[in-house]
Amino acid sequence: MSNSIVCPYALGGINYKNGFVTSCPQQSDELYIIEDSVKPSDIINSPGFLKHRKEMMSGTWSQGCHLCKEAEEIGSQSMRHDFDHVLDRVVDLNLYDSDTGEIDFASLRHVEIRFSNSCNMACLHCSDVYSSGWMTKLKHYEADEEDRKHKLIQLTREFHKTDKNMNLSISISIEQMEELVSDLNKNFPNIMKIDFAGGEVLYQKQFFPCLELLAQHPNAANIRLAFHSNFNAKFDPVKLSKLLEPFDRSIIHMSLDAGKNIYGYFRTGDWDKLTENVRVFREIDKKSELNIVCTTSAYQIMDIENIFESFMELDVNFIDCSIVYTPRYMNPSLMALYFADEVKADIQKAKDVVERERQKRFANLDQHTYRRSWNPRKREFTDLRTALEGLNEVEHYVFNNHVSQAQWEAFMVYIRKTDKIWQQKFNEHMVNYKFNGTNIERIEHV
Q: What CATH number has the domain bearing residue 183?
A: 3.20.20
> Quick one: 392 and 263 in the same domain?
yes
Question: What is the average per-residue pLDDT within 367-394?
Answer: 97
Q: Is position 199 within any domain?
A: yes
Split at pLDDT 50, 70, 90, the class of 76 is: confident
**Number of independent structural domains in the chain:** 2
Q: Is position 347 within any domain?
A: yes
> Quick one: 103 and 210 in the same domain?
no
Split at pLDDT 50, 70, 90, the class of 67 is: confident
Question: What is the average per-residue pLDDT within 395-413?
Answer: 97
Strands 374-375 and 380-381: antiparallel
Q: What is the pLDDT of residue 74?
A: 87
Q: What is the pLDDT of residue 170?
A: 67
Q: Can you give the residue range of the structural domain that contains 265?
A: 174-442
Split at pLDDT 50, 70, 90, the class of 171 is: confident
DSSP 251: E
Q: Is position 169 within any domain?
A: no
Question: What is the average per-residue pLDDT within 291-304?
Answer: 98
> Quick one: 200 and 329 in the same domain?
yes
Question: What is the average per-residue pLDDT within 168-190?
Answer: 89
Q: Where are the beta strands (DSSP E) in 115-177?
A: none
> Quick one: 239 and 349 in the same domain?
yes
> Quick one: 351 and 243 in the same domain?
yes
Q: Is position 198 within any domain?
A: yes
Split at pLDDT 50, 70, 90, the class of 167 is: low
Find out whether 278 and 256 touch, Cβ atoms under 8 Å.
no
Dihedral angle, C-alpha 38, 110, 297, 30, nearest 10 °: -40
Select from 92, 108, 124 the last residue of a domain.
108
Q: What is the pLDDT of residue 418?
A: 98
Q: What is the pLDDT of residue 82?
A: 67
> Quick one: 75 and 201 in the same domain?
no
Q: What is the pLDDT of residue 303?
A: 98
Strands 440-442 and 380-381: unpaired
> Quick one: 414 and 297 in the same domain?
yes
Residue 212 CA from chain centroid, whole number: 24
Q: What is the pLDDT of residue 87?
A: 38
> Quick one: 231 and 377 in the same domain?
yes
Select from 78, 108, 138 the last residue of a domain.
108
Q: What is the pLDDT of residue 197?
A: 87
Q: What is the pLDDT of residue 86?
A: 42
Q: Is position 393 within any domain?
A: yes
| This prediction's pTM | 0.83
Select from 64, 92, 108 the last residue of a domain.
108
Question: What is the average per-residue pLDDT within 342-348?
Answer: 98
Q: What is the pLDDT of residue 85?
A: 44
Q: What is the pLDDT of residue 96?
A: 92
Q: What percent of the chain has pLDDT over 70?
A: 95
Amino acid at 86: V
> Quick one: 20 and 103 in the same domain?
yes
Q: Is position 378 within any domain?
A: yes
> Quick one: 77 and 209 in the same domain?
no
Q: What is the pLDDT of residue 164?
A: 63
Q: Is position 237 within any domain?
A: yes
Q: Is the pLDDT of residue 84 over 50?
A: no
Three-class secondary structure assignment of the chain: CCCCCCCHHHHHEEEECCCEEECCCCCCCCCEECCCCCCHHHHCCCHHHHHHHHHHHCCCCCHHHHHHHHHHHCCCCCHHHCCHHHHHHHCCHHHECCCCCCECHHHCCEEEEECECCCCCCCCCCCCCCCHHHHHHCCCCCCCHHHHHCCCCCCCCCCCCCCCCCCCCCECCHHHHHHHHHHHHHHCCCCCEEEEECCCHHHCCCHHHHHHHHCCCCCHHHCEEEEEECCCCCCCHHHHHHHHCCCCEEEEEEECCCCCCCHHHHHCCCHHHHHHHHHHHHHHCCCCEEEEEEEECHHHHHCHHHHHHHHCCCCCCCEEEEECCCCHHHCHHHHHHHHHHHHHHHHHHHHHHHHHHHHHHHHCHHHCCCCCCEECCCCEEHHHHHHHHHHHHHHHHHCCCCCCHHHHHHHHHHHHHHHHHHCCCHHHCCCCEEECCCCEEECCCC
Q: Is position 128 within any domain?
A: no
Q: Give the tens place of pLDDT for each residue, 8-23.
A: 899 999 999 878 899 9
Q: Give the tens place of pLDDT for each residue, 125-135.
A: 999 988 999 99
Question: What is the average per-residue pLDDT within 247-267?
Answer: 96
